[in-house]
Structure formats: C-alpha cells, structure tokens
Amino acid sequence: MHINFDFKRRLEKKKKTRKTILCLGVGVLISVLFCAGVFVFIWEKDAKTKKQEPSPRDKTIIPSPPAAGPQEQIVKIEYYIKNGDTIINILKREGVEHQSAYQFFTQVKPVYNLKKICAGKQYTLFLSKEKNEIKRFIYEIDPDYYLEAWRDETTNCYKGKTVKIPYRVKRQFVSGIIRESLFGSILEGGEKPELADMIASLYEYDIDFNRDIRKGDSFALLVEKLYLKGEFIRYGHMLAAHFSNRGKTIRVIRYSNPEGKSAYYHPDGRSVRKMFLRCPLPFMRVTSGYGNRRHPLLKFSARHYGVDMAAPVGTRIRATASGIVKVKGYTSSKGRFITVRHKNHYISHYYHLNSFAKGIKPGIRVEQGQIIGYVGRSGWATGPHLHYGLQKSGRFMNPLSLRSPSKDPVKKVYFEDFKQYVARVSLLLSGSHIVDIPESITEALLEIPAPPAQAPVTSANSIGQ
C-alpha cells in the first residue's frame, strides 16, 4: 500500500508539472503573438505614414491645387521617383494615357527637360479623376528651384515655369568645443550633421580630420540658415569660420569681390584652395606610412613609396589635384591602379582599386576632387585599402607632409576692400562669444550683396504649343 500511494503521488506531481509547463507555454505563445501583432500594426502604420506624408519642405513649396470645373474631381498624388523611372512611365503608372504623357513631356521640355529627373526626389501630380488628365505637376529641380507645369484649358496644351523657392536667409553664429569628435560636438550644439560635413570640406586642405583633431579644439562659425515658413530647411553658405586645432587657429572667410565672384580665403588673402587635397578619401585610417617597413605579404623590409589608407570596399577615391590621367591599368602587385599627371612635374598614384569611375581613361582631364575610382583589395593586398603615392620631378615623397601651394589669391585691386571686410567679420565672430549680436547689426557689417538670381534653365519661363 505504501508503494502504491507513493507511486500515485509522484504521478499526480508529474501531471501538475506538465499542466504548469503547458500553461506557461500557452502564455508565452499568446504573448509572442500579441507582440507580433502590435509590431505589425505599428510597422504598417509607419510604412503607410512614410508613403503618404511628404517631407516638410515639399509640403511648403507646393502651391494650391488647380480649381476644378463643374462636376470635376481633382486627385492629388504624391510619391517618390524610383530607380529607372522616366516621366512617361510615372504618368502612365498613375493612369495617364501614353499620348497625353508624351505631349506633356514634349511641351514642358523647353522649360525643363524631364529626362533629368532623379531617383529619390518627390513629385506631386494633380489629376482629373474622370479623364485621368494632368492638371498640374510639381517637381523639385534642386534645393533652390522647382518646376511647376500645368494644363492651359484655353489652348489645351501644357505650360510651365521654374520657380525660386522663397527661403528666408538668416546669418547665425555657431560655436563649440571638441570633446570626442567634430560630429559629436556639432550634434551636442543642436545643429545638423551636414554642418560638420561643411566644416570638414572647408578645412580639408589644412586639417586632416582623421588624425589631427584633438580634445579641446574649438570652432566658431558664421553660417547661413535657410527657413521656409518659419521652419529650418537647410544650411546655406559658410560665411566665416575660425577653427583652433592644437593651439593654432586657422581662419577662413568667404569673400565676394565686386565682380560677383565668391571664394574662400585666409585673412592674408591666400586662397583656401590648394593645388593638392590632404587626402583622396573622405575618412580613412592610415595602416602603413611612408618609408621603410616590413612588407605584410613578402615578409622582408623594403621602402614604402606611399601611404596605405584603410577604408571599406567601394569608398570613393578623389583626384587630389587636377591633371591628366596618364595610366589606367592592372598589375599583379598594384592591382587596378590609376596614375595622374599634374602641373609642376607632380604625379599621383592610386593602387588596389575595386573598380574605376565611369569615363576614366588615359588622356582625359580630371578635376580636383573628381571621383576617379573606388577602394578595393586588388593585387597584393591583405585587406581593402588605397595605396596613395606622390612624385615630384620623378622622386617619391611623403604625401601627408606635402605643403601644397595655394591657388588664386585675392586680386590686388580688391585687396583693400577684402581687408576691411575681414576686419568686420572678425569683429562679429569675436563679439558673438560675449553678447548676442542683433541680426540688423550683422547684416549692416557684412554688407554682402545678393548675387543675381539665375534659374537653372536658360529658356523662357513659360511655354505653350
């Protein structure tokens, strides 16, 4: 009896355990299904919102919809241009007949060639629901202009015009101290990451932002900010910048001479632009410097006639100076490589490319900063990187220690005007650390005449058949 009672007790205990496990499993399953349902609901709602809601700037530049005729319903369609889209395909996808789509394209072409539409940009289309007839079409050409085209009911043909986006330009002061990185300091100050890109681009001839930046470095900027209906849209020109790096302050001023030409200069009139960029890559890490080293593959010491810069495969490689492509080829050691000949007997070398940029071939001219290829690991390479070499009169030199000569200084005839302008801007930047300078005073001291507005098209602003 004792054995049977013990057996029953253990059997009941096992049944209870199984029930507990089963209940827990069902509870977990219900929780997972509930969470999955919530996730799917949120994802679908978010996706729907992203698809339907245009960006704030697109909302503000779109004019009122065309007036509908008697018993005519106008449908507004907003969507993004996809890769491979043409204006004919877009209109046909929205229900417009091929003949009408082609008529629209040809009649708007004298104002703006819609073959130039770019993937990722938004368009707004107003259609007659009954006839699937185009009433109005809006397309942003660039950050400053958009195309507006419409159907003229009196002539039954399409007309169009390019419209300058009516930004409100404010010149504002921004300053900060580097704690971890330039990007981090910009974000800490409540600014957008694009401002860090502007600073890096402005100082790329003088500061290597991969190696030279130190904690405690500081910057002070006078920059244009563009607003539309009270909302910040984007940055305009950088008007002035002071960057203190390792105790040395490098000042840059944007100056517009009486001829209307604008460029960046140092306070002594030297152009910020130099013959060579500091680096052919936007951001990189030096893995092997110039000079003697132990070869990573051949395992013996040899002189390294360049600098190896690690970067992900596909990183864009820029020509560090304007010149003529001398060689484009492949060898077992260099991999895919390009050699560019520059003036003053300079030659630059780019090895281990993954691929070449379109149109790059021997004999063509490339401009400073132009993309000539993409980082890879072709040839003798242990990982993706760029070997960058530089020669002067046939002799190799360390490209990172090059003191590149400046280009196009301020013209002597305008130098006195330039000096006075620099003094006013420096006064503004220095005073901005102490007090908030009213916008009216900033405008008065800068006295920067607005350049004449030029639409990105040369044809008439409106057309018909």
Residue 142: pLDDT band with limits 50, 70, 90: confident
CATH number at residue 306: 2.70.70.10
Strand partners of residue 428: none
Residue 35: pLDDT band with limits 50, 70, 90: low
Q: Within a domain: residue 2?
A: no
Q: Within a domain: residue 69?
A: yes
Q: Within a domain: residue 462?
A: no
Q: Are residues 269 and 364 in the same domain?
A: no
Burial 262-273, CB ≥16 within 10 A → b, else e: ebbbbbebebbb
The answer to whether residue 377 scores a pLDDT higher than 80 is yes
Burial of 34 (0-12, 13-18, 19+ CB in 10 A): exposed
The answer to whether residue 137 scores a pLDDT higher than 50 is yes
279/72 Cα distance (integer angstroms) = 60
pLDDT, one tens digit per residue, over 302-349 is 566 788 888 889 999 999 889 999 999 999 889 999 999 998 889 999
Q: Are residues 205 and 137 in the same domain?
A: no
Q: Are residues 313 and 379 in the same domain?
A: yes
Instruction: Return the higher-pLDDT residue of 9 and 325.
Output: 325
Q: Are residues 309 and 334 in the same domain?
A: yes
- For residue 341, what are the domain limits? 285-401
Report, as an integer, the average pLDDT of 346-360: 93
The answer to whether residue 45 scores a pLDDT higher than 70 is no
Give the CA angle between residues 283, 286, 288 to the nearest 5°.
155
Q: Are residues 122 and 194 in the same domain?
A: no
Q: Are residues 250 and 298 in the same domain?
A: no
pLDDT, one tens digit per residue, over 422-464 is 988 888 887 665 555 556 555 655 664 444 444 444 433 434 3
pLDDT, one tens digit per residue, over 90-124 is 898 888 889 999 999 999 999 999 999 888 888 89
Query: What confidence score (pLDDT) does residue 451 get?
Result: 42
Q: Are residues 379 and 319 in the same domain?
A: yes
Q: Are the beta carbons of 325 and 362 closer than 8 angstroms?
A: yes
Q: Within a domain: residue 377?
A: yes
Q: Are residues 174 and 159 in the same domain?
A: no
Lowest mean pLDDT among 146-160, 285-299, 377-391: 285-299
pLDDT, one tens digit per residue, over 50-80 is 434 444 333 334 455 565 555 568 888 888 8
In 3D, which of 455, 297, 445 has the Cα closest to residue 383? 297
Question: What is the residue-averaged pLDDT of the chain?
Answer: 78
Question: Locate tokens 């005519």: which residue?
Answer: 72
Q: Are residues 160 and 266 in the same domain?
A: no
Q: Within a domain: residue 41?
A: no
Residue 22: pLDDT band with limits 50, 70, 90: low
In 3D, which of 360, 375, 384 has the Cα closest to residue 315? 375
Query: What confidence score (pLDDT) does residue 207 get?
Result: 81
In 3D, which of 279, 274, 275 has the Cα closest to residue 209? 279
Reported pTM? 0.60
Query: What confidence score (pLDDT) does residue 182 get?
Result: 86
Query: What confidence score (pLDDT) does residue 61 get?
Result: 43
Query: What confidence score (pLDDT) does residue 251 get?
Result: 93
Domain stop point among 164, 193, 227: 164
Q: Within a domain: residue 206?
A: yes
Domain stop point among 164, 197, 231: 164
CATH number at residue 241: 3.10.450.350
Report, as an integer, the average pLDDT of 370-387: 89
Query: What confidence score (pLDDT) does residue 2 get?
Result: 46
Q: Are residues 145 and 212 in the same domain?
A: no
CA-CA-CA-CA torsion for 74, 79, 82, 84, nearest 10 degrees? 10
Instruction: Return the higher-pLDDT residue of 268 and 431.
Output: 268
Q: What is the DSSP letter of 101?
A: H
The answer to whether residue 262 scores a pLDDT higher than 70 is yes
Residue 363: pLDDT band with limits 50, 70, 90: very high
Domain stop point among 164, 181, 210: 164
25/359 Cα distance (integer angstroms) = 62
User: How many structural domains does the chain have?
Assistant: 3
Q: Are residues 338 and 270 in the same domain?
A: no
Instruction: Return the higher-pLDDT residue of 14 and 346.
Output: 346
Q: How far is CA 351 from the centre of its chain?
A: 26
The answer to whether residue 212 scores a pLDDT higher than 50 is yes
Question: Locate tokens 């500091």: which residue?
Answer: 278
**For the chain, what percent of residues have pLDDT higher than 90?**
28
Strand partners of residue 318: 371
Q: Are residues 266 and 315 in the same domain?
A: no
CA-CA-CA-CA torsion for 29, 31, 33, 37, nearest 10 degrees? 180
Q: Within a domain: residue 460?
A: no
Q: How far is CA 368 from CA 209, 294, 308, 388, 411, in A?
A: 19, 33, 20, 15, 22
